[in-house]
């Protein structure tokens, strides 16, 4: 049975996957960045442990539904990004979520220590902004309009820093 897809009119290019609804607040900055760049995305809550069949199916179907990058956020054991990467050829960006037990270090190490052959790009703990910017940078090679938006974004960062000098 295929996963339900929300029809928003635009085909999503980025899939954001969360291992738990409790991570929704921490990925809001990624959603904001993707919206700022005009990148259509969809968000799915699919656990590597509690809904593995659904997570596997989504990852396996991601390319055929038009996704170009997957951002997977998970805490604790944080297996979701690795499981997703094992089921798709698309780039997967892992966001380690801050956890109660080890303040997110457990999540970071779980995501960054992937075995050779199944890479997951990993950003900082709760690094949703950089995950979205990395997704934009990956897609910028195929989409010149994103490359130009990213160029302007980086220029604005430069100007902001330089304007801080007195």
Model confidence at 166, pLDDT cuts 50, 70, 90, reads: confident
**Alpha helix ranges (H) inside 37-120:** 52-61, 80-87, 105-112
Locate the DSSP E strands across 66-120: 69-75, 92-97
pLDDT digits (tens, 9 = 90+) for 105-151: 999 999 999 999 999 999 999 999 999 999 999 999 999 999 999 99
109 vs 75: CA distance, rounded Å: 10
pLDDT band for 45, please (50, 70, 90 cuts): very high
Q: Would residue 9 count as lying in a domain?
A: no
Backbone angles phi, psi at 122, to 5 degrees: -125, 135
Per-residue pLDDT band for 100 (boundaries 50, 70, 90) equals confident
Strand, coil or helix: 17: strand
Residue 101 has pLDDT above 90, yes or no: no
Inside any domain, residue 78: yes
Q: Is residue 152 part of a domain?
A: yes
Helix (H, G, I), strand (E, B) or coil at 101: coil
Question: CA triplet 123, 128, 132: central angle to 5 degrees?
Answer: 90
Q: How many structural domains are present in the chain?
A: 1
- Whether 61 shows a pLDDT value over 90: the answer reads yes
pLDDT, residue 2, reads 42
Task: Compute the CA torsion angle 33, 106, 112, 49 (nearest 10 deg).
Answer: -80
CATH number, residue 119: 3.40.50.1970
Q: What is the mean pLDDT of residues 140-165?
A: 96
- Give the domain range for residue 70: 14-163
Task: Residue 96: name the closest of 68, 61, 130 by CA.
Answer: 130
**For the chain, what percent of residues have pLDDT higher than 70?**
95
Predicted confidence at residue 1, as pLDDT, reads 40
Q: What is the rounded CA–CA span in Å between residue 160 and residue 16?
A: 29
* DSSP code, position 20: -
Q: What is the average per-residue pLDDT within 11-31?
A: 96
Q: Is 2 part of a structural domain of the chain?
A: no
Q: Is the predicted pLDDT of residue 3 greater than 60, yes or no?
A: no
Residue 8 lies in a domain: no
| Local confidence band at 153 (pLDDT 50, 70, 90 cut-offs) | very high
pLDDT recorded at residue 8: 53
- In terms of Cα–Cα distance, which of 140, 132, 82, 134 is closest to 107? 82
**Quick one: pLDDT at residue 71?**
98
């Amino acid at each position: 049975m295929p996963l339900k897809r929300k029809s928003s009119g635009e085909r999503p290019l980025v899939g954001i996957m969360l291992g738990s609804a409790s991570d929704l607040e921490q990925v809001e900055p990624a959603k904001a960045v993707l919206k700022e760049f005009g990148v259509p995305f969809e968000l799915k809550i699919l656990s590597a442990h509690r809904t593995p069949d659904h997570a596997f199916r989504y990852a396996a179907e991601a390319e055929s539904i038009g996704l170009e990058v997957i951002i997977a956020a998970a805490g604790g054991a944080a297996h979701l990004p690795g499981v997703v990467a094992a089921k798709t050829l698309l780039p997967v960006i892992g966001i380690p979520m801050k956890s109660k037990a080890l303040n997110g270090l457990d999540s970071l190490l779980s995501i960054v220590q992937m075995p050779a052959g199944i890479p997951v790009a990993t950003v900082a703990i709760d690094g949703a902004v950089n995950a979205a910017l990395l997704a934009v940078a990956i897609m910028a090679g195929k989409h010149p309009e994103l490359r130009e938006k990213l160029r302007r974004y980086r220029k604005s960062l430069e100007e902001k820093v330089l304007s801080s000098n007195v």
